[in-house]
């Protein structure tokens, strides 16, 4: 069964379990995180195969990344251990109950040394997939990582594998101009383009959504990608590629603890429904549901649901299931 393949950097994550300045945290919790592998985990939990391509260092953090992904049954045959660079690190500070600050230690990391040859070594994983998912993070890591993404897209397009991109702009990695420059060559090849409201304006260099939508191509049957706009606690919308009108869905009401990772869980739900062969309204429904699951847990990916958990958000507060 063809599933999802993705590539990017997965880091060790150190997170403070309580709000407040990090320097006062008595201890930190160790986990992993990476937008692309978060999506792979979400799709895998929902029952489709998922593979991750990337580099980790020959260190404990690298071993942790591979161990966690394997434990989630994400295929890592295309992952490499780089003896010459460390695994990247992300430190997550819950500065206030409502504001999270993220600090990266990833310059020169193993993940940022991903290159086109790494992708060529995993060619079958890409050409045999049902969808290739990429993000705007990887091309900003380094020119070689940008080349790896371009190569993956080239292979996918030649094999008629649909390509999905989540803008995922991380300002610490580069500004709007660099983002546009690195993503521009990929845009004509996309079947699905995901982004937050601000990210789509940034990518399109537009000041309002209708202009951004027109520039990014989807509607009007112009052959552009299906454009999916993530609107946080206000839900999400799709501008279908066939020119049909925008479809909106409200968010699923939940007690939100941590918004980080919601976008990845949302994309995982959307692409799972795509792999299921479901129509656009169902893709959006499942995406809003999986996005809502993610915000209920203070970790980037661990709250993502399995298929048989999808009904849990309907339960009343205080429910105990025995
Ligand atoms: P990103 O993490 O990429 O910034 P969003 O914050 O927009 O993405 O979240 C992605 C999706 O997750 C939203 O479109 C929505 O469906 C769902 N979501 C996000 N925040 C909440 C929330 N507070 N309550 C319920 N659903 C949410
Ligand atoms: O989307 C959640 C991600 O921000 C996180 O898991 C780590 O990939 C990551 C990044 O670059 O911030």
The residue ranges of the chain whose pLDDT is under 50 are 221
Point out the ligand 1 atom lying closest to the alpha carbon of residue 194.
Answer: 3
Q: Which of 58, 63, 60, 68 is nearest to 31 (CA)?
A: 68
Residues with CB under 6 A from ligand 1: 196, 230-233, 235-236, 251-252, 254, 256, 259, 262-263, 266, 288, 291-292, 295
The three-point CA angle 120-6-166 to 5° equals: 125
Q: How far is the CA of 278 from the centre of ligand 1 (A)?
A: 21
Calculate how far, in angstroms, residue 316's C-alpha sits from the geometric centre of ligand 1: 21
Residues whose CB falls within 8 Å of the CB of residue 123, separated by 6 or more in sequence, listed in order: 155
Residue 4 CA to residue 74 CA, distance in Å, equals: 10
Residue 166 in contact with ligand 2 by CB distance below 6 A: no
Give 18 Cα–ligand 2 centroid separation in angstroms: 20
CB 251 within 8 A of CB 234: yes
**What does each C-alpha distance from 306 to 43, 106, 265, 309 come to in angstroms?**
9, 31, 12, 5
Distance CA 54, CA 304 (A): 22
Pick the atom of ligand 2 nearest to 263's CA.
1
- Whether 264 is catalytic: yes
User: Exposed, middle or buried by CB within 10 Å (0-12, 13-18, 19+), for 313?
Assistant: middle
Predicted confidence at residue 218, as pLDDT, reads 56
Write out the E strands in the chain.
Answer: 4-7, 11-15, 29-33, 50-53, 55-57, 80-82, 89-96, 99-105, 131-135, 163-166, 192-196, 226-230, 236-239, 247-249
List the residue whose alpha carbon is closest to atom 22 of ligand 1: 233
Q: Is the beta carbon of 265 within 6 A of some atom in ligand 2?
A: no
Report which DSSP code applies to 22.
G
226 CA from centroid of ligand 2 (Å): 23
Using the atom order of ligand 1, give the atom closest to the CA of residue 236: 14
pLDDT at 221: 45
Domains of the chain: 4-307 (3.40.1190.20)
What number does the ligand 2 atom closest to the CA of 264 have?
1
Both tokens of residue 125?
Answer: 């994983």
- Distance, CA of 36 to CA of 155 (rounded, Å): 18
Ligand nearest to the CA of 9: 2
The response to whether residue 90 sits with its C-beta less than 6 Å from ligand 2 reads: yes
Output the six-digit token pair for 250: 């409200």
Interface confidence, given as ipTM, is 0.98
Segment 88-107, tens digit of pLDDT? 999 999 999 888 899 999 99
With a CB cutoff of 8 Å and minimum separation 6, the contacts of 1 are 48, 49, 130
pLDDT of residue 222: 58
- Residue nearest atom 11 in ligand 1 by C-alpha distance: 291
Query: Best of 135, 248, 269, 291 to mutate for ligand 1, by most ligand atoms within 8 A of CB?
Result: 291
Q: Strand 29-33 relative to strand 11-15: parallel, antiparallel, unpaired?
A: antiparallel
Whether 242 contacts 210, CB under 8 Å: no
Smallest CA-to-CA distance from 79 within 60, 61, 53 is with: 53
Residue 88 is encoded by which pair of tokens? Answer: 């990247």
The one catalytic residue in 82, 258, 264, 300 is 264
Atom of ligand 1 nearest to the CA of 288: 16
Distance 263 CA to ligand 1 centre (A): 6
Cβ–Cβ under 8 Å, residues 151 and 126: no
Q: Specify the pLDDT at position 140.
A: 98
């Amino acid at each position: 069964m063809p599933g999802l393949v993705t590539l990017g950097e997965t880091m060790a994550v150190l997170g403070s379990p309580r709000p407040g300045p990090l320097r006062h945290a008595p201890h930190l919790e160790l986990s992993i995180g990476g937008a692309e592998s978060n999506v792979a985990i979400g799709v895998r939990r929902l029952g489709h195969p998922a593979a991750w391509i990337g580099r980790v260092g020959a260190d404990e953090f690298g071993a942790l990344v591979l161990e966690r992904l394997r434990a989630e049954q994400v295929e890592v045959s295309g992952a490499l251990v780089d003896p010459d660079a460390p695994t990247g690190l992300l430190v997550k500070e819950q500065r206030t109950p409502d504001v999270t600050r993220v600090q990266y230690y990833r310059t020169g990391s193993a993940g940022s040394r991903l290159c086109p040859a790494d992708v060529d070594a995993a060619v079958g994983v890409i050409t045999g997939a049902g969808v290739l998912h990429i993000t705007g993070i990887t091309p900003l890591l380094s020119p070689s990582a940008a080349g790896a993404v371009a190569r993956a897209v080239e292979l996918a397009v030649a094999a008629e594998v649909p390509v999905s991109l989540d803008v995922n702009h991380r300002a610490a990695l580069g500004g709007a101009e660099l983002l546009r420059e690195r993503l521009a060559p990929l845009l004509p090849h996309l079947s699905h383009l995901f982004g937050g409201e601000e990210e789509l304006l940034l990518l399109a260099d537009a000041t309002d959504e209708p202009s951004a939508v027109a520039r990014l191509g989807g509607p009007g049957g112009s052959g552009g990608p299906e454009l999916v706009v993530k609107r946080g606690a206000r839900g999400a919308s799709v501008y279908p590629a066939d020119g049909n009108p925008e479809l909106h869905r409200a968010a699923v009401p939940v007690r939100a603890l941590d918004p980080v990772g919601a976008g990845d869980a949302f994309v995982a739900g959307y692409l799972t429904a795509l792999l299921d062969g479901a129509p656009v309204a169902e893709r959006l429904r499942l995406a809003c549901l999986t996005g809502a699951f993610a915000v209920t847990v203070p970790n980037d990916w661990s709250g993502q649901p399995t298929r048989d958990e999808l009904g849990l958000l309907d339960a009343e507060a205080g429910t105990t299931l025995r």
